[in-house]
Amino acid sequence: MVVSFTVDKSQCRGLKWVVKDPISVKLIGPILTRLPLTPFNPLTHPGLPRYRQVFVWLQQAILAAELKSGEQLPATRELAHQLNVSRNTVKSAFELLQAEGYIEARQGAGSFVIDLPAHLLRHAPVTHSDALAQSSLPGLNHRLDALQAFRIPETRAPQRLQPAVPALDAFPLQQWKRCLGQSVSRHQLQHTPLAGDGLLREELVMHLASRRGIQVDASQLLITSGSQQALHLVAELLLCPNDRVLVESPGYPGTAAVMRAAGAKVESISWQLLQQGLPTGLKAACLCVTPSRNFPLGHTLTLQARLALLNWAEQQDCWIIEDDFDCEFATGQPITALYALSREQRVIYTGTFSRTMFPALRLGYLVLPPALVPGMLKLRGYQDGGLTRLSQHALGKFMAEGYYSRHLKKMRQLYQQRREALITAIAASPLSELPVIDAGGGMHLVQALPSGRADQALCQRLNQEGIGARPLSAYDPLNQQQGLILGFSADTADQIDDAVSHLGLVYRQTLC
Ligand SMILES: Cc1ncc(COP(=O)(O)O)c(C=O)c1O
């Protein structure tokens, strides 16, 4: 039926009209151009440009079937008017909807929602408010569970007495800047070699030979993003699900977490047992140790124990991961690394620059037996394709110029002074009647607490008050020894004094 009549055009919104002449129009079947049920609210996505806000609003409405398949969208001019935005804004939103396949433009007729089967309309972009709680995710495996156990300090803001942080106030910034500047060149814009920057590896070869007795070819070195990534890469390369991995206790919890995340069955093994010698019947795919300086107690395995460990690993066909996290600050000359003693090359060595340079550098390394190199390079190739080159090359230069060894020498002296400042401050505090576990050197010491005292609760309170002490029990799953791991390297003597006074007060209030 065709109806002709005179009409006031302001009444026509939402209907499709064919204009014959200014007075008479023909209704060819009303098509309702509705707006989504959910009103447009620019405050829902305040950070987005306005056209994106309109896009998201319409996108959500289509995916939630508020605008149905085949439905016509309002004309851009009309919608702009209703939303109080410019017509170009709406046009851009429509263009994006069309480009992403939500609507189609029909010549001379307008824009229409694309035909989408109802069963596909369950999907909508996730917003913060409806993100799933992890516990409700189906079928998650032990890897995610294992990562729950990884304790990452709640705050990464600098704190007093924080372990594993070097003296950033004494870092030679000018020399570092120079090395960075000299490392910017067209040549350095190329891909990084998978194993890491050549200069850095060559410098490391010399450094490891002179400081750790490790004599290897540069091809056996892999530069990593800290020793944390080094551990992860080794676990990925060598472990099968449910492999047994032995991890020393006390020890660095990040090691056990990485191994668990790789699907291994992790068992703690006491430092005392490592010292006595592991039983011949004990089988494992991998053993993780800090033989030169236990973390966090600082003990060194005797030569007999180190050699016995190598024999055991060779008999059991077991890999040893030697984590050499702060050997540079041991008192006297550092001992020969286990890696250098392993005839059958069962040892994988990892070291880090987080402590000798600065934590934000995120550079560490692996020294691999030659047999593992090709596999590891392939793994690296598909995992991250190599690390950022600039900082690696700058570090290579820093070492080649002799800045690194000079810096280490200065830090050894400085840390010795800061260590003494901490011991003096503790001796004058309410903690003085308790023993200090101090193997000498290093960047932290351990203040023992009476057994049964809640070192974790004490540390929580201290951390809230800006003191970065770590609870010893969290590093000792086997014996739950009680104590505070107190760093001294990052703070001046005055700062150490103040922090220990405060620590003494909190200790009295919490534990006495
Ligand atoms: C014993 C030990 N190994 C490895 C790491 C990881 O260090 P990074 O990834 O910074 O090199 C740490 C960090 O504190 C550690 O204490």
Beta carbon of 162 within 6 Å of any ligand 1 atom: no
Nearest to 275 by CA among 255, 296, 304: 304
Beta carbon of 365 within 6 Å of any ligand 1 atom: no
**What is the pLDDT at residue 512?**
66
Instruction: Say if residues 150 and 254 touch (Cβ distance below 8 Å).
Output: yes
Instruction: Say if residues 320 and 328 touch (Cβ distance below 8 Å).
Output: no
**What is the pLDDT at residue 15?**
41
3-state SS record for 239-306: CCCCCEEEEEECCCHHHHHHHHHCCCEEEEEEHHHHHHCCCCCCCCCEEEECCCCCCCCCCCCCHHHH
The C-alpha atoms of residue 42 and residue 409 are separated, in whole angstroms, by: 59
Question: How far, in Å, from the CA of 292 to the mean position of ligand 1?
Answer: 15
Question: How far, in Å, from the CA of 22 to the mean position of ligand 1?
Answer: 80
Residue type present at position 256: A
Instruction: Indicate which atom in ligand 1 lies nearest the CA of residue 353.
Output: 11
Nearest to 20 by CA among 1, 7, 30, 10: 7
**What is the pLDDT at residue 124?**
66
Instruction: Indicate which atom in ligand 1 lies nearest the CA of residue 163.
Output: 14
DSSP 437-483: E--SSSSEEEEE--TTS-HHHHHHHHHHTTB--EEGGGG-TTT---E
* Domain annotation for the chain: domains and CATH numbers: 1-28 (no CATH), 42-120 (1.10.10.10), 193-387 (3.40.640.10), 407-511 (3.90.1150.10)
Beta carbon of 364 within 6 Å of any ligand 1 atom: yes
**Segments in the chain below pLDDT 50:** 1-31
- Residue of 352, 362, 443 to test ligand 1 pocket, by largest number of atoms within 8 Å of CB: 352
Instruction: Indicate which atom in ligand 1 lies nearest the CA of residue 363.
Output: 11
Beta carbon of 339 within 6 Å of any ligand 1 atom: no
**What is the pLDDT at residue 34?**
82
User: Is the CA virtual torsion 296, 301, 305, 306 positive or negative?
Assistant: positive
**What is the pLDDT at residue 142?**
63
Instruction: Indicate which atom in ligand 1 lies nearest the CA of residue 227.
Output: 11
Q: Kindly state the tokens that stand for 476.
A: 């000792």
**What is the pLDDT at residue 96?**
97
**What is the pLDDT at residue 155?**
61
Q: What is the dihedral of CA 226, 229, 233, 236, to 10 degrees?
A: 160
Instruction: Indicate which atom in ligand 1 lies nearest the CA of residue 164.
Output: 14
**What is the pLDDT at residue 43?**
86
**What is the pLDDT at residue 32?**
52
Contacts of 52 (CB under 8 A, 6+ apart): 45, 93, 96
Question: How far, in Å, from the CA of 259 to the mean position of ligand 1?
Answer: 14
